[in-house]
Structure 1
């Protein structure tokens, strides 16, 4: 029987050990590495790369974004499944743009984790309420874009302020922090957001981020 090898990269030692113990209870999975952060993971990376890396986002020394970037460049066959407390839309989108195959919250039921591992192993992606089929489709389309999409954006006539807001909406900043950076009130930010929702026929911040990726307003 082939075992799927798992690496756990998380700076919360008790949680990581509990996860390792849970995963080891299933004969189809094998824990091959535990690391406190990305730098620790790179230093310990085995000669045979793990099939799946369970990766946290917020870690000291080398965070999840940097680690996912390194994995994408150096271990292209390894699939990343994010397990984090961070629930911001922009963080989820950013990790998916860096190649993550799914995104799971740390307070999820353990059986959901097993389901997620099975899905990443068998189908390549774990789709849940945080990661939709549509999101994966948009990200894949954006990755395959050959540069024509920028014209579509210009045709919609976004103002400079709307474009700036859209770029900032693709970061981890809250709407309040975006207001501070743009030197406007939170109410003005709400009007930018609602105006874009109406203009672009979009209903959520994730939708705005996907639109920005697809149309080359931010890079993948």
Structure 2
């Protein structure tokens, strides 16, 4: 790499009501090559205020779930609506499945426990930014058991065409939309059409939501 070519840095925002965690996490992330923390906040409301006046929006925001004033779920929904280009990662002590679902349904592209390793944190941030989502073993392995029977019965009434189902299975992989188009021998514009149609039909707003919906109903494998 030429000496005068700077390494691209991904920018990060953190919201957690424990100041020591924010400081420690910021230091850890700043020591990872290619990442820089530009916003620190002690709750969701403070984070939204900082985002509203920031001249540079972060690539990713890391959110705790249990925060005073505005918790992680509400914060994720607000950011998804007001700042849709910011990717969201939930980072929490909570390992119950309902917390995972709440955060992902609110717009988070991944979910990590606070006892995760630095390597997993780096992997999660990188994949969320570059691929759009990150599935930890916990999310992929256990999430499918969280849907109540009556909810599943309601959702079973949704019908997909053969091509929509094929697209959905590819969407659950690590293929990019361009690679999915090549695999299905369709144009990228047609693939975009399938994606938007399924967003509307399944009432989800992101690829993560799309895939999790399919996993919950057993349409694609979580493994």
- Flag whether TM exceeds 0.5 (same fold): yes
CA distance in 1, matches of 2:155, 2:38: 43
User: 1:13 matched to which residue of 2?
Assistant: 19
Q: 1:61 to 1:2 in 2, by over 3 A?
A: same
State the aligned residue count: 149
Which residue is 2:60 aligned to? 52
SS of the residue aligned with 2:138?
A: coil
TM-score normalised to structure 1 length: 0.61
The 1:130/1:50 distance shift into structure 2, 3 A limit, reads same
Alpha-carbon distance in 2 for matches of 1:151, 1:121 = 34
SS at match of 1:126: coil
Residue 97 of structure 1 corresponds to which residue in structure 2? 105
Deviations along 1:170-210, one digit per CA (max 9) or x if unpaired, are: xxxxxxxxxxxxxxxxxxxxxxxxxxxxxxxxxxxx99x93
1:23 CA displacement: 0.7
> If you compute each CA radius of gyration, which structure gives the higher value, 1 or 2?
1
User: 2: distance between equivalents of 1:134 and 1:15?
Assistant: 27
Question: Equivalent residues in 2 for 1:85-124 (5 A)?
Answer: 85-124=93-132
Unaligned runs of 5+ in 1: 137-147, 153-205, 215-220
SS class of match (2:21): helix
Per-residue deviation at 1:19? 0.7
Residues 1:19 and 1:111: Cα distance change in structure 2 (over 3 Å)? same
Partner residue in 1 for 2:185: none
Matched, 1:128 2:136: yes
Whole-angstrom distance in 2 between the partners of 1:210 and 1:28? 35
Q: Is the 8 A contact 1:13 1:36 kept in 2?
A: yes
